[in-house]
Amino acid sequence: MNKIRIKNCHILTMEEDRKQIQEGEITIEKDKITYIGNVRDNIDERDYTRVIDAKGHACLPGFINTHTHAAMTLFRGFADDLPLMTWLENKIWPLEDNLTGEDVYWGTLLSILEMIKSGTSTFNDMYFFMDDMAEAVRESGIRAVLSRGLIGLEGKGEKGLKETDEFISKWHNSCEGRLKAMLGPHAPYTCPPDFLKEVIKKVDHYKLPVHIHLAETSFEIEHCREAYNRTPMEIMEDLGFFKHPVIAAHCVHLSQNDIEIMANRGVKVSHNPGSNLKLASGIAPVPDLIEAGIEVSLGTDGAASNNNLDLLEEARLAALIHKAQKDDPTVIPAYKALEMATRHGAEGLFLGGETGVLKEGYKGDVILINLDKPHFYPQHDLVAHIVYSAQSSDVETVIINGEIVMENREVKSLDEEKVMFNAEKKAFDLIKRKEA
């Protein structure tokens, strides 16, 4: 049984009381944290499988990416600087029509490698070829919540629902409990109401949460108003979707009535500032959502529209863009941005009580950030430095589910060169297949 002792680190627990421990210790046994507090004396370290002296490091929960499309790392840099619908219809969807399971496997591994190296311990994904995605999660050691993306157009709905059944029965709660499933209807403009009613039947049957894109672009709002005389949020409310646990990605274009619906129904939001800025989709009204009591976490979206999976960058963007938009430097302070990357991420994925904070009984999902870098000095405010100054390369060690998956920047669960080589090959083979 793994028994890890981490000592002499500055611990940010990310609990609601903002508890920090200057010279602290964390013990992880098997997959759970069994002690967190001041460094204890008279400990026989021979009882531990690993002892990490983390002096000069910050210790905090692993980051939680609440919205991405992992295999789209294969499309990174392929179709930049385009509006969302042009990007999707003319570039991305035609390529996706040529994807194979092996493509998705290597693209997912590439994204997982990138996420681990930037401190992400959990991600929430919507895509297809689910066996291949799940296999990448199993091999890598990361924690994941996966949804088979569902589209209700062009006869694709029935196939998607069938594959959802197969995926949930085979993979939900697998990989030592690291892999959980959700239902994944893509969006109201690709899932007509009659199809969404079929999805609700599955939600009722499985009692699982829903992961969906909502109110991402002005196009989506116009489409829904023209077709149904409703906003996307109103469509979901009328269908009864929000009677179930839902995490909605983007939520950029919202009316006051939309926000009230979301607050009343407990809808969670994944804020994707980098992708929304790059695609010119707009800026989500995050301060208004938080004021309404809505749980807001952070996502990167896929690497084809960001173009990286660095959640530290998303936390920094979330802290900065809303200050400028609101003309108020106190909006989204550094601690709130870091909460959005950790504790609120866990709550957004309905994993509260399991991960997202450092606390006895929680999963051993821990990262160590090396503070011995010029950009961390002078050390006036550690939280501000992590949000405004830290780089993803400062993350030195990542522990997930009690297993050390990266140490001294070396990912132990994956062959980095092999992953990058195969993902590169698959990306260009895919383009050749499309053009053939």
Which tens digit of pLDDT belongs to each residue from 392-423?
999 999 999 999 999 999 999 999 999 999 99
Per-residue tokens: 241: 């979707």
Q: What is the pLDDT of residues 246-260, one digit of tens each?
A: 999 999 999 999 999
Q: SS3 of 266, please?
A: coil
As to burial, measured by CB atoms within 10 angstroms (0-12 exposed, 13-18 middle, 19+ buried), residue 18 is exposed
Report the distance separating Cα 392 and Cα 166, nearest Å.
36
Query: What is the C-alpha separation between 135 and 312, in angstroms, rounded?
Result: 26
Give the distance from CA 430 to its chain's centroid: 26
Angle between helices 157-171 and 193-206 (to 10 degrees): 20
Per the model's pLDDT, the better-predicted residue between 348 and 89 turns out to be 348
| Residue 254: Cβ-neighbour burial (10 angstroms; 0-12, 13-18, 19+) | buried
Residue 210: what pLDDT? 98
Q: Which two tokens stand for residue 238?
A: 């009328």
Torsion of CA 185, 191, 197, 198, to 10 degrees: -70
The domains of the chain are located at 3-61+363-411, 63-348
Is residue 268 within 8 A of residue 348, CB to CB? The reply is: yes
Residues 8 and 39 sit within 8 Å (Cβ to Cβ): yes
Nearest to 12 by CA among 29, 24, 30: 24
In CATH terms, the fold of domain 63-348 is: TIM Barrel (3.20.20)
| pLDDT value for 145 | 98
Place of tokens 């920047």: 409
**Average model confidence (pLDDT) across the chain:** 96
Q: What is the pTM of this model?
A: 0.97
* C-alpha neighbours within 13 Å on the C-beta side of residue 357: 19
- In the CATH scheme, what architecture does the domain 3-61+363-411 have? Roll (2.30)
